[in-house]
């Protein structure tokens, strides 16, 4: 066996977060009485959201600030008199109810759980991620979930990976691999921590970063074959 500990990013690796995000965003805006132009608003929200997550991962903003600010900026840019605190609360609640699996996620988790231990490593909000995993049907295959919220540090900080490794039943760098879609968080984090990684790259994007994955897969069905 090549690997015995499989550390998965959750969003856009096992769960289609973009699909869940859009469904939740649309639901919340309609609840707040906004009907027209939601697609355009979501595109603007995504820009602010990405900027704020990068700031969070760099340690310059808190997660609590991020959760409200992305809605405040979206509403302000469109001169909408909507409450960003209310929108954020309902959005986070809705995320756990709109779970969409990435194709092949269930089979891959079942295969790897039979070969070793599967853990989740995520920068997402802890109680929301726990509920999303429960609603995904993947919970039987997952041994533990490590969140940046509980740890106090976010991917790609090596302290986050040290925290995650302590949650495993057994840990050795040689038998551990990270599987994720983010070069700047998952793969770079693996590089810094000194473990192997598999870049899930469904869009077959070019890698023009300093991050260096050990393996690459464009579909989850390809992952088990290179890891066990």
Closest CA to 108 of 221, 225, 227: 221
The model's pTM is: 0.83
Mean pLDDT of 127-133: 90
Question: Cβ contacts of residue 150 below 8 Å, gap of 6+?
Answer: 126, 163
For residues 125 and 5, the model is more confident at 5
Out of 41, 67, 95, pick the residue that ends a domain.
Answer: 95
Judge whether residue 39 has pLDDT over 60.
yes
Please give the pLDDT value at position 140. 96
Please give the pLDDT value at position 128. 86
For the CA atoms of 134, 11, 56, 158, the dihedral, rounded to the nearest 10 degrees, stands at 90
Confidence bin at 125 (pLDDT 50/70/90): confident
Please give the pLDDT value at position 1. 55
Q: Return the active site residues.
A: 9
Out of 76, 95, 114, pick the residue that ends a domain.
Answer: 95
pLDDT tens for residues 139-173?
999 999 999 999 999 999 999 999 999 999 999 99
What domain range is 221 assigned to?
Answer: 5-16+101-227
216 lies in the same domain as 165: yes
- Rounded CA-CA distance 135/96 in Å is 7
115 lies in the same domain as 218: yes
Mean predicted lDDT score pLDDT of the chain: 95
pLDDT tens for residues 68-88?
999 999 999 999 999 999 999
88 lies in the same domain as 115: no
Mean pLDDT of 27-40: 90
Please give the pLDDT value at position 96. 85
Phi then psi dihedrals of residue 59, to 5 deg: 85, 15
Q: What CATH number did the domain enclosing 25 receive? A: 1.10.150.240
Token pair listed for 120: 């989740």
Mean pLDDT of 97-124: 96
pLDDT tens for residues 41-60?
999 999 999 999 999 988 99
Share of the chain above pLDDT 90, in %: 88
Out of 63, 95, 127, pick the residue that ends a domain.
Answer: 95
Judge whether residue 35 has pLDDT over 60.
yes
**Domain total in the chain:** 2
Q: What CATH number did the domain enclosing 9 receive? A: 3.40.50.1000
């Amino acid at each position: 066996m090549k690997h015995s500990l499989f550390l998965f990013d959750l969003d856009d690796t096992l769960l289609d977060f973009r699909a869940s995000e859009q469904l939740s965003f649309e639901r919340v805006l309609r609840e707040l009485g906004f009907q027209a132009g939601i697609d355009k608003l979501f595109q603007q929200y995504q820009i602010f959201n990405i900027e704020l997550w990068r700031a969070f991962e760099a340690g310059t903003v808190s997660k609590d600030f991020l959760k409200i600010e992305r809605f405040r900026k979206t509403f302000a840019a469109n001169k909408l008199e909507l409450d960003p605190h209310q929108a954020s609360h309902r959005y986070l609640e809705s995320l756990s109810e709109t779970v969409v699996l990435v194709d092949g996620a269930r089979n891959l988790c079942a295969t790897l759980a039979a070969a070793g231990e599967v853990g989740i490593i995520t920068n997402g909000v802890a109680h929301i991620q726990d509920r999303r995993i429960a609603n995904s049907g993947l919970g039987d295959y997952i041994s533990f979930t490590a969140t940046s919220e509980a740890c106090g540090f976010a991917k790609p900080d090596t302290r986050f990976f040290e925290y995650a490794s302590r949650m495993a039943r057994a840990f050795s760098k040689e038998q551990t691999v990270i599987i994720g879609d983010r070069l700047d968080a998952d793969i770079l984090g693996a590089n810094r921590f000194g473990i192997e990684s598999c870049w899930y790259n469904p869009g077959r994007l070019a890698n023009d970063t300093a991050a260096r994955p050990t393996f690459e897969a464009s579909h989850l069905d390809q992952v088990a074959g290179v890891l066990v």
